[in-house]
């Protein structure tokens, strides 16, 4: 079972990921993230920091996804594990559609085409949503932010996410990220637990 956590920078999804480690320890999930902990992930972080050109950056994010699937996600799912990823393909569709605007015609279609046929679509995606101004107050001071972390960019990214959630209501669960963090973590942990139970009952523990 593949669960992903998505949302704009400052939406609290990384602290939710941390909280789930404790709350779901008995289910022994594989906790992972994109950009990942491999050398490919490292080059993605370098590309972000150096503000390389948007196509280079986008393709590195896709390369990171390929490495992530090959090294972590596929092997874990093959073992019947629950995989919980902090960011995944929807981050690419939501962010790179914005960074590639005006550079590639129909960036979202291009990005989706790069994934189609080999990526694994998550079983459930928890999308942390909050007003962009609230997200910005949780981020580092303006001078130290990544180039994505600007109001204009994050507004568009969040609108993209909300559009995907409308298009796939059975996959996405929208989380009000202004709620208490502990309350959010308990809700998400319970939802994952229910899915795990339903999956085991149907003999669908493996995917
Ligand atoms: P992340 O490591 O989640 O942020 P943080 O360092 O704040 O924990 O992601 C780094 C940045 O990369 C973040 O601004 C979102 C962006 N990103 C994309 O633009 N596309 C992607 O496909 C992914 C995975 C992340």
Q: Tens digits of per-residue pLDDT, 126-140?
A: 999 999 999 999 998
Assess whether the C-beta atom of 34 lies below 6 angstroms from ligand 1.
Answer: yes
Please name every residue paired with 125 in a beta bridge, in sequence order, or none if there are none: 4, 172
Structural domain count of the chain? 1
Q: Provide the domain limits for residue 143.
A: 2-206
**Could you give phi then psi for residue 37, rounded to 5 degrees?**
-95, 20
Write out pLDDT tens, residues 86-117: 999 999 999 999 999 999 999 999 999 999 99
| Ligand 1 contacts CB of residue 14 (under 6 A) | yes
- CATH number of domain containing 19: 3.40.50.300
Q: How confident is the model at residue 207 (pLDDT cuts 50, 70, 90)?
A: very low
Ligand 1 centroid from CA 88, angstroms: 9
What DSSP line would sit under 1-62, residue for residue? -EEEEEE-TTSSHHHHHHHHHHHTGGG-PEEEESS-SSHHHHHHHHHHHHT--HHHHHHHHH
Sign of CA dihedral 78, 66, 177, 163: negative
Confidence of residue 206 (pLDDT cuts 50, 70, 90): very low
Q: Whose CA is nearest to atom 5 of ligand 1?
A: 9
**68-91, pLDDT tens digit by residue?**
999 999 999 999 999 999 999 999
Residue range 143-152: mean pLDDT, rounded = 88
- Report the alpha-carbon distance of residue 30 to residue 136 in Å, rounded: 30
Q: Per-residue pLDDT for 179 more than 50?
A: yes
Q: Which of 47, 73, 87 should be mutated for ligand 1, with most atoms under 8 A from CB?
A: 87
Nearest to 157 by CA among 123, 129, 188, 115: 129
| Spacing, Cα 35 to ligand 1 middle (Å) | 7
Phi, psi dihedral angles at 82 (to 5 degrees): -90, 130
Q: Indicate the pTM of the whole model.
A: 0.95
- Residue identifier of the C-alpha nearest atom 8 of ligand 1: 14
């Amino acid at each position: 079972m593949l669960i992903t956590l998505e949302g704009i920078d400052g939406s609290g999804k990384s602290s939710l990921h941390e909280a789930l480690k404790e709350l779901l320890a008995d289910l022994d999930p594989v906790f992972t993230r994109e950009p990942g902990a491999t050398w490919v992930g490292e080059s993605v972080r370098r590309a972000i920091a150096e503000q390389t050109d948007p196509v280079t950056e986008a393709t590195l994010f896709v390369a990171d996804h390929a490495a992530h699937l090959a090294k972590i996600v596929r092997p874990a799912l093959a073992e019947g594990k629950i995989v919980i990823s902090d960011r995944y393909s929807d981050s690419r569709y939501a962010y790179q559609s914005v960074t590639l605007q005006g550079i590639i015609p129909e960036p979202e279609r291009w990005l989706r085409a790069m994934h189609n046929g080999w990526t694994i679509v998550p079983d459930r995606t928890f999308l942390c949503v909050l007003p962009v101004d609230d997200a910005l107050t949780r981020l580092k001071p303006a001078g130290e932010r990544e180039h994505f972390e600007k109001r204009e960019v994050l507004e568009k990214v969040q609108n993209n996410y909300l559009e995907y959630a409308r298009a796939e209501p059975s996959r996405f669960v929208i989380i009000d990220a202004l709620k208490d963090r502990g309350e959010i973590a308990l809700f998400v942990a319970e939802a994952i637990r229910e899915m795990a139970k339903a999956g085991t009952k149907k003999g669908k523990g493996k995917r």
